[in-house]
Amino acid sequence: MQRKRHHTKYIFVTGGVVSSLGKGIVSASVGALLETRGLKISISKADPYINVDPGTMSPIQHGEVFVTEDGAETDLDLGHYERFTRARLNRHNSFSSGQVYDHVLSKERRGDYLGTTVQVVPHITGQIKENIFRASEGVDVAIVEIGGTVGDIESLPYLETIRQMRYELGGENVVCIHLTLVPYLAAAKELKTKPTQHSVKELRSIGIQPDFLLCRAEREIPSDLLRKIAVFCNVPGDQVFQAVDMDSIYKIPLMLHQQGLDQSLVDNLNIWARSPDLREWYSIIERLDHPKQNIKIAIVGKYTDVVDSYKSIEEALVHAGISNEAAVSVVYVAAQDVIAKGPSVCLEGVDGVIVPGGFGERGTEGMIRSIEFARCQNLPFLGICLGMQLASVEVARNILGLHTADSLEFAPETTEPVIFLMEEQKGVTNKGGTMRLGSYPCVLAKSSKAREAYGKDTVMERHRHRYEFNSQYRSRFEEAGVVFSGTSPDDKLVEIFELQGHPWFVACQFHPELVSRPMGAHPLFKGFVFAASKKKQDKKSTRHTE
């Protein structure tokens, strides 16, 4: 194990000046580029906050919670890492200060420190190192993104860890990429380098000289300015890159490659690697740039005013667009508005409707109305997790005539609990990490839309929910034209259901968006977008013949 560690090279990604510069996308792009050279990589995120994981954090504050195969509730950046690369990440690839302290404190309580004073250096930094090593086992290059911004009080122990690792393992094994902002001041008509200089100064004051600078800017940075940044920040001129805003995140790997970032990284880390095979990335961009049609999908949810709360769904739609040669635009519909204005107003002109996952009662009646509208108007519909549960309620109420049908989550007293709690979830009081989480098998029913979309009999899909479809209602649903097209292998749990005689009404208990990729759209998203584009074409041709 000790030996392996020394074979792994480390790339740290830090950020300065402001947050939200896209460190996650940069880390993912670096991983993607190194993979095109045949290297095995891992990407991890170290978050300086004190929460043990983002599972209990509101999407309003933190965006979507991404779930790994092994059921860890992690930062949404892990979604980017998995979308851009082949690396399959697990619970070790995302950790927070909360977790690090939790670990150190339990060791201290057990007496593991043998009476020494437990301190940030070396104990917290030592634990951070352990976490980094654990997440990097067996890979050629481990990329580690440090959350937050240089200068934050919380990120100090992480930066100190980078300093130590660089000192211990040397510059051939550890490099640091610092992402900064070069803002454009409209009044002065100038791009400004001072914030970058200050942020590098801050890094250097804690002992880190960045090896690479990535300057985020809204417009092209002239070469003399890049040179100025290099000199003032003490970084070699050919290791200062620019990251100019792009219309798609999937263009970023090639944009960085064209400036020579991956070549420079392998040179600095003294890695022998083959020349990159970028064909997949070129073909993605080609398809992104030449869509044959535009379609509009509505996401009817509760967190629609918060950027990033449906990140993976947005991306899965982009992927499905790439594979269907369509540009997919998303309109967010606040579920509460559907009640006030009516679904025909809110969903006017859309080619398909998604009701995504969520928690709590707010907005659910608006979602149910939207589902009913999609069902009655033959509008393609994809229900995900809560969206599937509400589709069950809609079918029960409006087709089966069970007017009081509901989910036990919002109506604990309902007489028709079509969505209920399994025995093992009943006594749960601790909210963190106790849902049905992670990857589970799903068996698909013959001659169903789902089976046709996937092209295989059994699939693995990721879950994050507490409630389930109540199987007591299955036969009544079937009589009404519902096909239970995906179930757990023991047939106890409903994973997917669909409606016969509808162009695409498919609802799933898991989160297909979490495993969709630009080079391999998720089958259910692909099928949904295909149905939406077909619907749009049909609409057009009927208009022509009228």
Residue number, 92 or 464, with CB nearest to ligand GLN: 464
Sole window of 96-104, 124-132, 162-170, 356-364 interacting with ligand GLN (rule: CB under 6 A)? 356-364
Least Cβ distance, residue 514 to ligand GLN (angstroms): 11
Residue number, 357 or 523, with CB nearest to ligand GLN: 357
CA atoms within 13 A on the CB side of 497: 27
Do you find a cis peptide bond into 122, omega within 30 degrees of 0? yes
Least Cβ distance, residue 463 to ligand GLN (angstroms): 8
Tell me, what DSSP letter sits at residue 517? B
- Residue 347 buriedness (CB in 10 A; 0-12 / 13-18 / 19+): buried
Q: Are the beta carbons of 24 and 81 closer than 8 angstroms? A: yes
176 carries an active-site annotation:
no
Kindly tell me which residue out of 71, 210, 358, 503 binds ligand GLN, with binding defined by CB under 6 A.
358
Q: How far apart are CA 139 and CA 209, in angstroms?
A: 25
511 carries an active-site annotation:
yes
Q: How far apart are CA 392 and CA 293, in angstroms?
A: 32
- Binders of ligand GLN in range 402-431 (CB under 6 A): 409
Sole window of 103-111, 183-191, 236-244, 354-362 interacting with ligand GLN (rule: CB under 6 A)? 354-362
Q: Are the beta carbons of 121 and 160 closer than 8 angstroms? A: yes
Q: For 88, list phi and psi in degrees, rounded to 5.
A: -100, 120
In the numeric block, the tokens 């990604």 are attached to 13
Strands 458-465 and 494-499: unpaired
Of the residues 62, 409, 513, 522, only one is catalytic, namely 513
Cα Rg of the chain (Å, integer): 25
Residue number, 510 or 528, with CB nearest to ligand GLN: 510
- Binders of ligand GLN in range 451-490 (CB under 6 A): 464-467
Separation of CA 403 from chain center: 37
Sole window of 244-252, 310-318, 357-365, 487-495 interacting with ligand GLN (rule: CB under 6 A)? 357-365
Of the residues 176, 385, 442, 508, only one is catalytic, namely 385
- Position of minimal CB gap to ligand GLN: 357
190 carries an active-site annotation:
no
Residue number, 73 or 315, with CB nearest to ligand GLN: 73
368 is a contact residue toward ligand GLN (CB under 6 A): no
Q: Is the dihedral of CA 250, 252, 255, 257 positive or negative?
A: negative
Query: How is residue 304 written in tokens?
Result: 């629609």
- Binders of ligand GLN in range 370-389 (CB under 6 A): 385-386
Kindly tell me which residue out of 101, 232, 332, 359 binds ligand GLN, with binding defined by CB under 6 A.
359
Residue 266, Ramachandran bin (φ over 0: left; ψ between -120 and 50: alpha; else beta): alpha
Residue number, 76 or 150, with CB nearest to ligand GLN: 76
Q: How far apart are CA 261 and CA 517, in angstroms?
A: 23
Residue number, 91 or 436, with CB nearest to ligand GLN: 436
319 is a contact residue toward ligand GLN (CB under 6 A): no
Residue 349 CA: distances (Å) to CA of 352, 377, 391, 474, 510: 9, 12, 21, 34, 28
129 is a contact residue toward ligand GLN (CB under 6 A): no
Least Cβ distance, residue 316 to ligand GLN (angstroms): 15
Q: How many residues bind ligand GLN (CB under 6 A)?
A: 10
Least Cβ distance, residue 507 to ligand GLN (angstroms): 11
Q: How far apart are CA 278 and CA 280, in angstroms?
A: 6
Residue number, 113 or 359, with CB nearest to ligand GLN: 359
Which residues are known catalytic residues? 385, 511, 513
Contact residues: ligand GLN, CB under 6 A: 357-359, 385-386, 409, 464-467
